[in-house]
Amino acid sequence: MTVPVSLPAGFEWGFATAAYQIEGAVDEGGRGKSIWDKFCHLQPTRTKGANGDVACDHYHRYEEDFDLLSTYGAQAYRFSIAWSRIIPLGGRNDPVNESGIAFYNRLIDSLLARGITPWITLYHWDLPQELHDRYGGWLNVTESQLDFERYAMVCYERFGDRVKNWITFNEPWIVSIFGYATGGNAPGRSSTNEQCTEGNTATEPWIVGKALIMSHARAVALYNKLFRPSHHGRIGISLNGDYYEPWDSHDERDKAAAERRMEFHIGWFANPIFLAQDYPPCMREQLGERLPKFSPSDFALLREAEVDFYGMNYYTSQFSRHREQPALETDFIGNVDELQENCEGISVGEKSGVHWLRSSPDLFRKHLTRVYNLYGKPIYITENGCPCPGEDRMRCKEAVNDTYRVNYFKDHLDAVAKAICFDGTVVKGYFAWSLLDNLEWSDGYEVRFGVTYVDYDTLKRTPKKSAMLLKQILNERIQVDV
């Protein structure tokens, strides 16, 4: 019998959520509209008829949800703040909403009363709609970073006495590409998507990317200068990214394609943020003048914005195959083909309940080690999870027996332990996605990532097997600090 590889003493774990996906109460407590409020109500629908008006009604049921966290044994909970609950109009000269402040104070205090450590994400995709209407939102690099800096300051001032773990942005790649290249997410801008009436896929995502990088830098530099000395917290960012293997492991062009795809996915943000360097050379070579430049003052700010950790959101891996033809102007992945089987027909992993995700724990280990070796920061896995095959068609009684998810968690935590023990990778914590079944953005309520089954008619919560077993899985692995 093989003995599981251990995780280090002090390894932190819990569950993660995002505001728009669970809160609901979109017109209560002085909250302003976000770009997702507008996007979810477009006709024809872009979200399979779903919206976040009620979602999981976490706004009214957070005590019940935090009782679940306690039952599940969670040490920590990662959640996001809705910018438009704090500053309904979003701007640096717009009024702060005290009702929104009070709501998040209640959440923080309720978690601390249970002995659960709060981790706050400042931005999980829900830009105040007013800022998009006022000046184009993230398309205005100067204005957006100044407004985000002020929003961050309000959060640090009002919550930082109790919150010691901050994440500036969740998945800026998704914000830039799905929001401004494919148009599949809010605000739905694209020149290649027939449903979109505005946008330029060739230029806009790269502008948005720079706006997010510099907004992150401003928020971190502000924290380091004004709040770290007294609050003694830590701050980072959560980047998504798959790991890519060459489609043909014997073809040097496919090996280069795999690395190039990861540079377009991760290096785009990680090189400036973690190394205070320019974008990867392959991006400059392909995109030319469409990729915004960093000024000397930009680099100075990036150097000031030293972060404490790398937040990693990982779900799956893929194969990458080179293309013979030149890149299209609208290409955003490095002129490669993304495939789930290699040239021998071998799958990257076992199929899940959503087409893009296959369980690939061995490649997760490679991914962790690659990122750590490149960027040198301790890693917190801020999202990892899956829907089970066929779960979208299951009733509660069947869905709670989520063996696929249990095995996914076991296998991926085993990969984490091996990366730490055998590869020297520093991984400090793990957040399972997600605490609740919820609004899965453009997939509506059909895809279920939660460890808790939510009946969307009654909003009743029912723990799945994975929720109860994750504590056991981790307790068997985490070393006791003697």
Any idea which residues carry the catalytic annotation?
171, 383
The residue count of the chain comes to: 482
Torsion on CA atoms 469, 472, 478, 480, rounded to nearest 10: 160
Give the DSSP letter of residue 85: H
Give the DSSP letter of residue 2: P
Location of structure tokens 């027909």: 345
Is 158 within 8 Å of 150 (Cβ atoms)? no
Is 37 within 8 Å of 439 (Cβ atoms)? no
Cα dihedral 70, 71, 73, 77 sign: negative
Q: Which residues, in sequence order, are CB contacts of 206 under 8 Å at separation 6+?
A: 176, 287, 290, 291, 292
**In 3D, which of 90, 202, 197 has the Cα closest to residue 135?**
90
**In 3D, which of 430, 167, 459 has the Cα closest to residue 307?**
167
Q: Give residue 13's identity as a one-letter amino acid code.
A: W
What is the bridge-based pairing of β-strands 309-313 and 234-240?
parallel
Separation between Cα atoms, residue 106 and residue 158, nearest integer Å = 12
| β-sheet with 317-322: strand ranges across | 243-246, 317-322, 336-339
Helix axes 268-275, 361-375, angle to 10 degrees: 40
H or E stretch covering 154: helix 141-159
Q: CA end-to-end span of the chain, whole Å? A: 26
Is 179 within 8 Å of 199 (Cβ atoms)? no
Q: What's the helix, strand, coil split of the chain in %, to 5?
A: 45, 15, 40
Distance of CA 195 to the CA centre of its chain: 25
Alpha helices, H only, 170-224: 172-180, 204-222
Residue 15, judged by CB atoms within 10 A of its CB (0-12, 13-18, 19+), counts as: buried
